[in-house]
Structure 1
Amino acid sequence: MHIMEGMLPPMWCVFWFAVSAPFFIYGLYRMRKIVNSKEQNAKVMLALCGAFVFVLSSLKMPSVTGSSSHPTGVGLGTVMFGPGVLAVLGVIVLLFQALLLAHGGLTTLGANEFSMTIVGPIVGFLVWKLCRALKVNKSVSLFLCAMFADWSTYVTTSFQLGVVYPDPHGGVFGAVVKFLSIYAVTQIPLAIAEGLLTVIVYNLILNNDLWKESALS
């Protein structure tokens, strides 16, 4: 993640666009509710979450051939607004990066959206809710949310590449394992760093009374 232009056959590009489309439509519904809500600073915080995703996911490092390794930044928006809206913010971010930074691609937009701003936020949100239900410390819960959202993105990307480029001996499973092992070198420490930064930013927002916990999540 991001998978670059030309790395996926047309059939798979269409498939990932089709799979991502319902989540994008739901994200538009969620974004409309947020924009029209009376919650103080809702629009500003929504923009902040989008900027957070853009900045962190732009810090790319070369990784698996045809893709890159980087933080995702989706944990903050997931906790503040729920996972749905990230599907829309993600498309905006990925479009800007593909057009302006040559980061990712237009044909692979659906695949990149699905891994980074659909699967990642959903997994992070489930981790957040589980931790809060178990009375885990808020900062620890947020750290785990951001970290697992990041890791799940790369698990998904490894699968997306593995089904297209199966290993000659190990098949799809063997390819996925190889992609994961390469990603792990950079992504394990990156995800930990991202989790810590997300906690710092979120606590700054709450401590300055810019947002109420779980206001619109």
Structure 2
Amino acid sequence: MKNKKMVFLLVLFLMALTPRITNAMHIMEGFLPAKWAIIWAIVSMPFIGIGLKRLNQIFKGDSNQKVLLGLAGGFVFVLSALKIPSVTGSCSHPTGVGLGAILFGPTTMTVVGLIVLLFQALLLAHGGLTTLGANTFSMAIIGPLVSYGIFKLFKKKGGNTTFVVFLAAFLGDLMTYVVTATQLSLAFPDSVSGFVGSLSKFLSVFAVTQIPLAIVEGIITAIVYNLLVEYSKEGVIKIETIK
């Protein structure tokens, strides 16, 4: 029990230190043409609406779940505040949404992710308000949907929980950047090869930094999830993985 507490506190301590190395992230303020900024905001709205309903159910339920949701939100905030420069107007960074998607479902993390992105845009100058819809769609909608889908699919087949959590977080992170690359390619197609050429360029540049980051995120998410499960068994917290 003592060793588990020490490991858990060490993870949280290291997570608390990491934002200090950041300076910019996501698709930056004003980078997308107005048309695409509006389109991604509109596309994101239905998911936000569904997420708000789910969030309301959690708030009306067990107070223990509120604490766990707060931890999942903090996990997203800290991991997504890491950044490695990748391409002009964006960067590579972990997302952290896989953990919350596994615990609470994808649409809950849409709202949590939106709040995180909003705070980062206002307080840290990370991302931006005009690109909030695009960043929400890639990180807080597609990422959680992929992580949740992978987790449910492989758990149903009886996969090892630790590996399944790793895979869910890993693929959710990667898919976020496939979507980001798609968003940038739609807004800025190559003058010769068009959308396809631009997409291949964005994906190849992202891959150098994003694949290692996705692996690290998968490992961290699996460690934290297993710690939460252990604490749940000991009655410290209560985990009710979304059905």
Match of 1:18 in 2: 42
Is residue 77–residue 86 contact of structure 1 (8 Å, CA) maintained in 2?
A: yes
**Do the aligned residues in 2 keep the contact of 1:206 with 1:213 (CA within 8 Å)?**
no
CA distance in 2, matches of 1:56, 1:95: 15
AA of the residue aligned to 1:72: T
Tell me what 1:78 maps to: 101
The percentage of aligned residue pairs carrying the same residue is 55
> Superposed, which structure 2 residues align to 1:109-120 within 5 Å?
109-120=132-143
| Residue among 62, 75, 78 paired with 1:55 | 78
2:239 is aligned with 1:212: yes
1:35 equivalent in structure 2? 59
For residues 201 and 103 of structure 2, the distance between their equivalents in structure 1, rounded to whole angstroms, comes to: 35
Q: Deviations over 1:102-142 (max 9, x none)?
A: 11000000000000010010011111111111111011110
Which 10-residue stretch deviates more, 19-28 or 168-177? 168-177
Letter of the 2:51 counterpart: G
Which secondary structure state, in structure 2, belongs to the residue aligned with residue 168 of structure 1? coil
CA deviation map 1:148-186 (0-9, x unaligned):
100000000000000111112221011011101000011
CA distance in 2, matches of 1:212, 1:45: 8
Give 3-state SS (helix, strand or coil) of 1:85's partner. Answer: helix
**How far off its partner does 1:190 sit?**
0.3
- SS of residue paired to 2:106: coil
Q: Retained in 2: the 8 A contact 1:142–1:198?
A: yes
Cα distance in structure 2, aligned partners of 1:170 and 1:74: 34
- Does residue 1:102 correspond to 2:102, yes or no? no
Whether contact under 8 Å (1:4, 1:104) holds in the other structure is yes
Q: Tell me, yes or no, if structure 1 residue 195 matches structure 2 residue 218.
A: yes
Alpha-carbon contact 1:127-1:144 (below 8 Å) kept = yes
- Aligned to 1:208, the other structure's residue is in SS state helix
**Moved runs in structure 1, 4+ residues, more than 3 A?**
none
Q: Structure 1 residue 99: deviation in Å? A: 1.1
Distance apart, 1:213 and its partner CA: 4.6
The match for 1:65 is 88
Letter paired with 1:212: I
The 2-side partners of 1:91 and 1:189 are apart by: 25
In structure 2, relative to structure 1, the CA distance for the partners of 1:213 and 1:42 (3 Å cut) is closer
Could you list the runs of 5+ residues in structure 1 that have no partner in the other structure? none
Query: 1:32, 1:204 → 2: CA distance?
Result: 27
* Counterpart AA for 2:80: S
Q: Give the match's secondary structure for 1:78.
A: helix
Q: How much is the aligned-residue C-alpha RMSD, in angstroms? A: 1.1
Aligned 1:115-154 pairs, distance under 5 A: 115-154=138-177
The answer on whether the counterparts of 1:143 and 1:199 sit within 8 Å (CA) in structure 2 is yes
The TM-score, its normalising length taken from structure 1, stands at 0.96
Displacement of 1:7 in angstroms is: 1.0
Corresponding residue number in structure 1 for 2:26: 2
| SS of 2:32 mapped into structure 1 | coil
Of 164, 168, 171, the match for 2:194: 171
Cα distance in structure 2, aligned partners of 1:53 and 1:17: 20
State the 1:211 CA deviation: 2.8
Residues in 1 aligned to 2:88 and 2:50: alpha-carbon distance in whole angstroms: 33
- Between 47-56 and 60-69, the greater mean CA deviation after superposition: 60-69
Gaps of 5+ in 2: 1-24
